[in-house]
Amino acid sequence: MNAHDNRPVGIFDSGLGGLTSLKAIKALLPHEDLVFFGDTARVPYGNRTREELLRFSEQNIRFLQSKDVKAVVVACNTSDAMARAEVQKEFDLPIIGVIDPSARLAAEATLTGGVGVIGTHVTVTSGLFNLLIPLYNPLAQVTAVETPKLVPLVESGKTHETDAETVAVLNDYLAPFQNGAIDTLVLGCTHYPLLAELIGKLLPGVTLINSGAAAAQRLKDTLTQMDLLADRTGPGAARFYVSGDPDPFARNGGEFLGEDLTGRVQRQV
């Protein structure tokens, strides 16, 4: 059977981080239309309660459904850790997360077995990375660290080497990993790949796993298995919605994507 589905794929995160998934999905599935939602009025998600994360996830998926999406990528480790499995029960469309795909990539990437994870409070305390990575690679020793100051820095566009505060915060957070104990670090929050250049400089030789990007292959596999791939021949289009101010999102997100998002980010209504 060669069925297809030209409806868009929905992607959500608390903010800019989900663009790391969007970028990878655009590269891997260039014919798909995408609808992105960043919940910037309620960012950060990293310290939210389970009840809040369930409610926000459900609301975000309903918003994306109002745009007629055929599948949703939860491009947020925090929501994935706390809410995805639960909200999947309420929706009759595939809802893909970021944690399992990136845990698997990390397990496959490590040669020494030393794997670090950085993530939000919710993600790290969920223990999911500590559980999943050794399932895929029994030799893996996982050290997970909460790095809560990073999301606000990324949201305010402080992702450059000239941003002294960001460099100092990263130096502090990454100190436990600077002794050669790990060869692989999971960027267990979709915001962190926006800091990959700085992190890479502080941890030379360490393989960085981009949790946002890891979901792209899982999405492709799912759409293929379910006969949901688009069959258009031209490039797909992306639409962007946020719950907060569209301007900083357009500025910082456009810089990360390498495209001009001015006037292309709409406020959620």
* Cβ atoms within 10 Å of 107's Cβ, excluding its own: 23
User: In the bound complex, what is the minimum distance in angstroms from residue 40's beta carbon to ligand DGL?
Assistant: 10
Q: Does 101 bind ligand DGL (CB under 6 A)?
A: no
User: In the bound complex, what is the minimum distance in angstroms from residue 57's beta carbon to ligand DGL?
Assistant: 12
CA atoms of 67 and 167, how far apart (whole Å)? 39
Positions in 145-204 near ligand DGL (CB under 6 A)? 151, 189-191
| Residue at token pair 């794929």 | 9
**Cross-strand pairs, 224:** none
Positions in 46-65 near ligand DGL (CB under 6 A)? 46
Among 8, 9, 11, 17, interactor with ligand DGL by CB under 6 A: 17
Residue closer to ligand DGL by CB (options 148, 254) is 148
Q: Does 99 bind ligand DGL (CB under 6 A)?
A: no
Residue 243 exposed, middle or buried by CB count within 10 Å (0-12, 13-18, 19+)? buried
Contact 151, 78 (CB under 8 A): no
Stretch that binds ligand DGL, among 44-52, 134-142, 201-209, 214-222 (CB under 6 A): 44-52
CA atoms of 30 and 172, how far apart (whole Å)? 38
Residues of the shown chain interacting with ligand DGL in the complex, contacts defined by CB under 6 A: 13-14, 17, 43-46, 76-78, 120, 123, 151, 189-191
